[in-house]
Amino acid sequence: MHYYKPQSFDEAVQIAASASGVTRFLAGGTDVLVQLRAGTVTPDHLIDLKLIPGVHDIARTEDGGWKIGIAVSGIDLGRHAELVAEWPGVVEGMSLVGSTQVQGRATLTGNLCNGSPAADSVPGLVTARATVTVVGPNGSREVAVEDIPAGPGRNVLQQGEIISAITLPPRGKNSGDAYLRFIPRTEMDIAVVGVAVSVTLDGDKIIAARVALGAVAPKVLVAADAAAALIGSTLDDAAIAALQAAVTAAAVPITDRRGTVEFRKDVVAVLAARAARIAYDRAKGAV
């Protein structure tokens, strides 16, 4: 195994582009090192991105959004008061990943690239319309977060391609988001179902909404019908019922050691309603 510590993304791209065999990147390492120790993935090339300048920074973009470095840990994200105030749903998704120790290392980018359909931070990023900057041998491009996962344990990045930052758009007024997951315990677990909801209000009325579902499909699911069920409503009972029907219909879960198809379809509806109420209250400034 070869281990590299590039000082820039250009250098990292060069190393990755010319590497043969299995390449893995280290941002937090909380998945890569576990897979390495378990013997499930033994990389030929391990490229450590943590030393590249800026990867630990959270910075305001010119248009009022946020640029989040790829090595920003869950704890640093959770301690950033402005970011938490604007995107509580994004931050609470990340803060649910792992233990306190894991939180000191784990990153949004790593959670995304790991490709788990149950990744807790991904639905919140999707409802936020977050994008990632992908750098590679052919230059850089912006890609929507939901377009990165390719299925369990896989992503769409080609050889030599690396995510260099995550960008959140400006939050805008009268908006709120929330992420909820179901686990049988209280922490240290993998989502059996995850739901993120983001809404923007005009008065009491929802004028924009996004709903994303985790752990009920091979990759994160954008539930457009569920969002449509919310738009134009004041989150009344009929809208909640329509939201629940839409997410249950959209979910295509499997039965495995963590839950059954029936249970996941039931619980995705429960969590969607609960997350929508939290997001709505946050948009109203009630919480």
Partner 1 sequence: MPKDELKSEYRLIGTRPDRPDGLDKVTGRARYGADMSLPGMLHAAVVRSPHAHAKILKIDASAALALDGVKAVITRADFPTGLTGEDWNLQENSMAGEVALYDGHAVAAVAATSRLLAEDAAKLIKVEYEVLPHVIDVDDALRMDAPVIRAGVGDHTVPEGSPPNVSKKIEFGHGDLEAGFAAADLIREQTYKTEATHQGYIEPHACVAQLGSDGKGEMWVCTQGQWYIRRMCSAVLGLEASQLRVTPSEIGGGFGGKTIIFMEALPLALSRKAGGKPVKLVMSRSDVLRATGPTASASMDVKLGMTKDGKITAAHVNFRMQGGAFVGASPVGEALSCALACYDIPAVMHEGVEVLANRPKAAAYRAPGSPMAAFAVESLVDEMCHELGLDPLDVRLKNAVHEGVKASYGPTYARIGLVEVLEATKKHPNLLAPLGPNQGRGIASGFWFNHGGETSVSLAIGEDGTVTVSIGTPDIGGSRASMSLMVAETLGIAYEAVRVNIVETGALGVNEPSHGSRATFASGKAAVEAARSAIREMCRRAAKEWGIEEEAVEWKDGAAMPAGPNAGKFPPMTIAEIGAKMGGTGGPISGHHETNADGVGASFGTHVVDVEVDPETGRTTILRYLVVQDAGTAIHPAYVEGQYQGGAVQGIGWALNEEYVYGANGRLQNAVFLDYRIPVASDLPMIDTVIVEVPNPGHPYGVRGVGETGITPPLPAIANAVAMATGARLRSLPLSPPKVLAAIKAKKG
Residues interacting with partner 1, by CB under 8 A? 38-39, 182, 184-190, 192, 256-260, 262-263, 266-267, 270
Of 211 and 272, the one with the shorter C-beta distance to partner 1 is: 272
CB atoms near residue 262 (< 10 Å): 10
Nearest to 11 by CA among 47, 44, 45: 47
Least distance CB 186 / partner 1 (angstroms) = 4
We find the least distance from the C-beta atom of residue 118 to partner 1, in angstroms, to be: 11
Mapping DSSP to helix (H, G, I), strand (E, B) and coil, where does residue 107 land?
strand
Measured from the CB atom, the residue of 135 and 269 that comes closer to partner 1 is: 269
Which lies closer to partner 1 via its Cβ, residue 187 or residue 237?
A: 187
Q: How far is the CB of 185 from partner 1 (least distance, A)?
A: 5
Least distance (Å) between residue 201 CB and partner 1: 26
Shorter beta-carbon distance to partner 1: residue 210 or 265: 265
Give which of 176, 180, 205, 207 is closest to 193, Cα–Cα: 180
Element (H, E) at 68: strand 66-69
Of 49 and 268, which CB lies nearer to partner 1 in the complex structure? Answer: 268
CB of 273 to partner 1, least distance (A): 9
Q: How far is the CB of 182 from partner 1 (least distance, A)?
A: 6
Find out whether 26 and 32 touch, Cβ atoms under 8 Å: yes
Query: In degrees rounded to 5, what are phi and psi of residue 157?
Result: -65, 135
Considering beta carbons, is residue 179 or 182 the nearer one to partner 1? Answer: 182
Crossing angle for the helix pair 88-95 and 261-283, nearest 10 degrees? Answer: 140
Least separation, in Å, of the C-beta of 108 and partner 1?
Answer: 20
Residue whose CB is less far from partner 1, 135 or 267: 267
Burial class (CB in 10 A: 0-12, 13-18, 19+), 280: buried
Tokens at 284, concatenated: 């109203």
Q: Which of 251, 175, 179, 171 is closest to 218 using CA atoms?
A: 251
Return the percent helix, strand and coil in the chain, to nearest 5.
35, 25, 40
Choice between 51 and 102, CB closer to partner 1: 102
The nearest distance, CB 124 to partner 1, in angstroms, is 20
All residues at 6 or more sequence positions from 48 whose CB lies less than 8 Å from its CB, including other chains: 3, 4, 5, 6, 25, 26
Please give the Cα distance from 146 to 72 (Å, whole number).
Answer: 20
